[in-house]
Structure 1
Amino acid sequence: MDFRFGVVAGKAPSGAEWAGTARRAEELGYDTLLIPDTLNTFAPFPALAAAAAVTSTLRLGTYVLSAPNRPPGLVAWEAETLQQLSGGRFELGLGGGRPGAERDAEVLGAEFGTPRARIERVAETIAAVRKLDEAPPVLLAASRPRMLRLAAAQADIVALGLRPQATEPELARTVSVLRDAAGERFDEIELHLNVAAVAPSPAEIPPWASRMVGGDARAMAEAGGIAFLTGSAERIADLLCRRREEFDVSYIGVSGLFMEQFAPVVELLRNA
């Protein structure tokens, strides 16, 4: 598939600065603005609606909505509203709940449930959204077999939820599981990977990036962690082209803190 590029951002000091982030992402040629679903970030739907109001081509996505924390009908209602308000630019990202999402569920008064119940809630939410007259594309975050099987059957986009320190062999195994589960449908699925840091070299990754990934970011990058892109824009572009060829990964999400650093790569790969 053609490359697509997203900016992952969750908060700003003011509405004006949030709008500025969205406009800047669009100016730099990014395809999507992606927002996490945590109590430490903006509430996804109103934040994306605000971003839609100040952009014209930028697509908008949840990355990813914790399905156990919301009734399926509520998600469908919110998704349909945002799809209409944005002129069809919304992409619904769903997951079974990241580590720590159970604490958010408790604060929100939701029943987080068992792993099986959470996957069932994801499936119920997809079903509710697919009934909409203007249903958005659905992204599922998946890394383990049960969620990969659901993604193989239901998702338009699969965000490969691997650890930041995961290396290419682990990526290859995960894609293989998805490919086997999807069969002929695999070629219709867009694969997404998230990037935690971009720098000229591992040694130049900012120290604060380690807090974001829960470990030594520089060491993870040195060891080949797939969430870290280091080197010149040309070198990174070549790496992403190879990964697309070998692993079918064509959709790259980048932390908004590295939006400017990654922009030259976006320009290089825009028509690749």
Structure 2
Amino acid sequence: MTRTSTQARSLRFGVVAPITTDVPTWADQLRRLAGTGYSTILMPDVPQWQPAPAPALAVAATVTGLRVGTWVYASPVRPAWSTAWEAHSLTVLTGGRFEMGIGTGRPGIAEQLRELGLPTGPASRRLDQVREVVAALREMDGPDVHTPVAMAVGGAKAQAVAAELADTVTFVMPHTETRAETMRRVRDFGNPRAAELALHVSVIGDGVAPFMAAPTTDPAALRAADSVACLPSDPGAAAEEILRRHEEMGFSYFVFGADVAGDLAPVVARLAGR
């Protein structure tokens, strides 16, 4: 990625907002976020945690008028055509405000698959399933619709698929990966199609966002590693750090947890679209 292409893409911000309360309280939370500069409401894809992503996102789109997306679909959990149909339907129902985030599954996905009575299969098969979902989605979208695809990727093979297919790429990396290591990861990715680079920020100050990192995550360890998975709680320092990551590494889409989204709203309002 060149310096010019890094600077050309504007900043935007998303919120992972699973339903952890009663629905009216959750809807009120989304209404408060609307108009503060956030672009996207995001839902995880873990059956034990909350209602299914598609109906939840349809409600979120209606409540807020914002874009909505999955963060992210687990490719092995459902047939490719079913995921693609759901994604295309959300694009149609939201007037083009849906973004399909997809990956091969969270750590421990094999255990979840066994609990659901689904085949575990090798990691390579799960990556093939991602490709099958995107292919089915493109067929359903047809020539006149384009559902943006965000891919969560780790290793070289997954990154190669994302470089070919994704509109947005977020890297799956250890929370204590150093800034220098992340910079090398971004550089090695190359980003030949100038995809949007998204950063999953699970720790703000000493707070660990639910559903974005394990509750045992140690914020001090992340700070000691100079990890980009965390941001300072001070709004001014957070804004400076976001701009630094945009300038140095090309990250332009920052994703936070709902529990800190309100506190960061002034930062988001200041930086969104820059």
TM, length-normalised to structure 2: 0.89
Distance 1:242 1:174, change over 3 A: same
Contact 1:161–1:193 (Cα < 8 Å) also in 2: no
Matched positions, count: 261
1:217 aligns with 2:219: yes
Q: Tell me the residue number matched to 2:118.
A: 110
Contact 2:151–2:168 (Cα < 8 Å) also in 1: yes
Which of 181, 184, 187 aligns to 1:170? It is 181
Structure 2 Cα separation of the partners of residues 211 and 94 of structure 1 = 17
Q: 1:118-145 CA distances to partner (integer Å, 9 max, x unpaired)?
A: 1111111110011123341000001211
1:243 aligns with 2:245: yes
Q: Tell me the residue number matched to 2:58.
A: 49
1:189-268 paired onto structure 2 within 5 Å: 189-199=195-205, 205-206=206-207, 212=214, 214-268=216-270
Which of 21, 28, 33 aligns to 2:29? It is 21
1:148 aligns with 2:159: yes
Give, in angstroms, the shift of residue 98 of structure 1: 1.3
Contact 2:38–2:272 (Cα < 8 Å) also in 1: no
Structure 1 Cα separation of the partners of residues 171 and 213 of structure 2 = 21
1:62-73 paired onto structure 2 within 5 Å: 62-73=70-81
Structure 2 Cα separation of the partners of residues 33 and 208 of structure 1 = 15
Q: 1:77-99 CA distances to partner (integer Å, 9 max, x unpaired)?
A: 11121111111110000001110
Contact 1:139–1:156 (Cα < 8 Å) also in 2: yes
Distance 1:112 1:9, change over 3 A: farther
Matched to 2:253, the amino acid is Y
Give, in angstroms, the shift of residue 53 of structure 1: 1.9
Q: 1:192-223 CA distances to partner (integer Å, 9 max, x unpaired)?
A: 01111223xxxxx1489797353322232243
Structure 2 Cα separation of the partners of residues 248 and 240 of structure 1 = 10
Q: Tell me the residue number matched to 1:131.
A: 139
Moved more, 64-73 or 165-174: 165-174
Gaps in structure 2 of 5+ consecutive residues: 1-8
Structure 1 Cα separation of the partners of residues 114 and 237 of structure 2 = 45
Which structure would you say has the larger RCO, counting Cα contacts within 8 Å and 6 or more residues apart? 2
Give, in angstroms, the shift of residue 32 of structure 1: 0.5
More helix by share: 1
Matched to 1:196, the amino acid is S
Structure 1 Cα separation of the partners of residues 155 and 273 of structure 2 = 33
Contact 1:25–1:33 (Cα < 8 Å) also in 2: no
Structure 2 Cα separation of the partners of residues 83 and 169 of structure 1 = 37
SS at match of 1:175: helix
SS at match of 1:87: coil
Gaps in structure 1 of 5+ consecutive residues: 200-204
Moved more, 117-126 or 77-86: 77-86
Give, in angstroms, the shift of residue 27 of structure 1: 3.1
Q: 1:27-54 CA distances to partner (integer Å, 9 max, x unpaired)?
A: 3221111111112322111111111121
Matched to 2:170, the amino acid is A
Give, in angstroms, the shift of residue 242 of structure 1: 1.6
Contact 1:69–1:105 (Cα < 8 Å) also in 2: yes
Q: 1:52-73 CA distances to partner (integer Å, 9 max, x unpaired)?
A: 12121x1111011000111111
Structure 2 Cα separation of the partners of residues 260 and 72 of structure 1 = 36
Structure 2 Cα separation of the partners of residues 221 and 65 of structure 1 = 29
